[in-house]
Structure 1
Amino acid sequence: MKNIILAAGYATRLYPVTENFPKPLLEIGGSTILDRMLRDIDSIEGIDEHIIVSNHKFIAIFERWAVEARKRYRHPVTLIDDGSLTNETRIGAVKDLILALESRGVEDDVLVAAADNVLDFSFRGFVDYFREKGTSLIMCHNEPDIAALRKTGVVCQDEHNRVLLMEEKPQEPRSHWAVPPFYIYCRADLPLIRQAVADGCKYDAPGNLAHYLTTRTVLHAWPMPGHRYDIGDVKSYERIKEQFAKDLK
């Protein structure tokens, strides 16, 4: 299984902090956001490569980070430059994923994660559940706030966690199951992913791809067992830094 990290965003809501520095490499609690994620994923049996997609503006910063990172992790760390220089010319998360698949000639199952999230649980259970179900898999969590549901993917599922419907940013959410940007796509679905944009799949948000696949293949949903810390703006970043600094002490 390949681990593909989407890290090509510009985090404009965090300006000026991220105006000239990538959000995934911001420090929280003595570690970068990206390293927190990689430490966990690197320990999971079956993962054999980390593929990180950056934009051209920040690729040199990621390359400097990778010099030491490649010494820390068991598995190879590969960087891919998607060529974009500004938020206005970004190519979009789905195209970044397809770029990673094509650049590396990937034919394996893939764990896909947005690099700007802090979690208090492991991806190990997610991977185990994928192996149990044998289909592509999305993560979900209960979100009581309707306003928040209107800003994310929302999924409906049956009693066996099989996905029945997924909508991206619905004005009238049909459930309280929100979908964070973490997915596992099985190798059998890679041809669909490679064809998605040509078939009309929207490509800005990673959830667009999961929405596209729900009408073409079988997906299951895994309720996440902990919390995801969303670093959306400078205030939330400072608040989470303070919280993790206390935990570190």
Structure 2
Amino acid sequence: MTFSLATWNINSVRLREDLVLKLMSGQGPDVLCLQECKSPVDKMPLQAFADAGYGHVVARGQKGYNGVAILSKLPIREVGAHDFAALGHARHIAGQLENGVTIHNFYVPAGGDKPDRAINDKFGQKLDYLTEMRDWFRDNRPEKSILVGDLNIAPREDDVWDHKKLLKIVSHTPVEVAHLSDVQAEGNWVDVTRQDIPQGLLYSWWSYRAADWDAADKGRRLDHIWASDDIARSAHSSRILREVRGWDKPSDHAPVFASFDL
């Protein structure tokens, strides 16, 4: 079977319910993974999504922040939800499709403003979270799996608008990139987006602070789709739907897409 998948930090699923429905009707991915839902599961507009064809859901939520959800046209069952770094945050959910593919949906901590754990606890939490992800995937080597989400790190030089200027900015510091690389290596994960689009500047996030985000184009690729190496070659049709960042009252992230023949 071929199925399409999208990942999107929605920055409040209740506030942006109409945008989710617009993406569902206009693009129709078979599986839509959301992060930063900012809502308990029972307060998410799940009936509206079911009416749009997404009747299968696995999710973890919290009031006002964090929260991850997998909305699917295809039957899916929950197979895990881990509290990496014991933060007590709803940042991970895993579901398995009937074809045996496991989908991990992550919202990695942003890490605050200062890239120094000695003065910024949030940065230390981010590094600890990534370390525990690395160790978990080392001990539970993924097979027939997809990892998606807002990983809050732009790893490559061409994943940011200015590599040199961002080297000391949280999300692109060498220590963060090294931690993410370790997660990828221990799980034998393949960056599907860059497998399909190996060269060129590529962004999925643009700050709200820019007066004209589109003209300034100071973006970062914080949102990712990875596949375990046993199925990575089945992935294709990767793209980032930049136009979504320009919708009315948007999230600061754009959705990332890929398709899989499995």
TM-score by length of 2: 0.33
Higher helix share: 1
With CA pairs under 8 Å and 6+ residues apart, which has the higher RCO, 1 or 2? 1
TM-score by length of 1: 0.34
